[in-house]
Structure 1
């Protein structure tokens, strides 16, 4: 159990905080929250457990900082920038999502970092659910350039589900080509139901 401990204000830190957060982010991306122990973190960062608790309060505290760092990285939403059609927006969104999950770490902290957790992780699980919902909302805003908002909401929910599935498949060893084939099938589906997607998503 990862119990929060009081922060310590005395004594110099003997490690680079920014580097520590980057190291933790890579571990959490690769193995998920529950797949990384405090011992794993301290060994990788090169500090003793008391120093980790003094700096971050708890493993969950370090995870939150690593999650903020991960969220600031280029991601799926960046792929929608400058799109001129709905097709370009979907291609860009899923292409950027693929780029994010086929890196060495092969993981998405938002999609797969902590999907379900015990009672001790309830708050962190809730925060991640809120981040996923926020991401879905941002995707819908982007799609609203071509669709009305209800249609954009439906398509964003579908695309986020595809992204989450890609993240899991990448963790299981799927290659870039495998994931690009999924992207192609998604575009075929949208085209088959209405060309630009409007016939499929404009009305229930």
Structure 2
């Protein structure tokens, strides 16, 4: 970038610390696999540096801290999941719930990947020193539930669901089921078995009110 005529000559500052000599995306994929399989508390800095093939100073230089690396991994993991906008823009609350459950089942039973969901099952129990990070995960989980609640409420407001439908409870029911599906996958349930469970839940969806 050209400097202003009145500005003093600028030199490129020398970066601090050791420069990374590894592929960042490959490192993130390696870290994702470790955190997914073993959880945040089950992965140490030594585990990460050994798996990625770098020294600890390089890891800190590239990612800042273990917590920051975990945050970046969560963003990478979440990018392939369901977006809250997809939920709110679904044709109906029912279709939104079906999308959430089917997409969730596909994620927790993906061939060649660890079972379960990093977000649904992540940091449910952790040490006090990681409370802030656990709170961030709870907030991420809440975005799906809140989006589903809003879509259900819109159906209620538009008269497509009975006025007695409790949108927050119905949304939380499906969010609870979504987390349970992750645990069931970890316990060995197949995608077909989990889809049958989702079908049972959707069969209990509130009936549309009769035409006025």
1:68 and 2:75 aligned? yes
- Structure 1 segments, 4+ long, off by >6 Å, are none
1:21 paired with 2:36, answer no
For structure 2, the 5+ residue unaligned runs are: 1-14, 158-162
Distance 1:13 1:77, change over 3 A: same
Find the structure with the greater CA-based Rg: 2
1:195 matched to which residue of 2?
A: 207
TM-score normalised by length of structure 2: 0.77
**Corresponding residue of 1:166:** 181
What is the Cα-based RMSD across aligned positions, in Å? 2.6
Match of 2:8 in 1: none
Could you tell me the TM-score, scaled by structure 1's length? 0.80
Q: Is the 8 A contact 2:88 2:148 kept in 1?
A: no
Q: Which has the higher helix share?
A: 1
- Of the candidates 31, 39, 52, which is equivalent to residue 38 of structure 2? 31
Describe the SS at the equivalent of 1:36: coil
| 2:106 pairs with 1:99 | yes
8 Å CA contact 1:78, 1:93 repeated in 2: no
Structure 1 unaligned runs (5+)?
1-7, 200-204
How many correspondences in the alignment?
188
Map of 1:44-193 to 2, 5 A cutoff? 44-75=51-82, 77=84, 80=87, 83-103=90-110, 104-148=113-157, 151-190=166-205
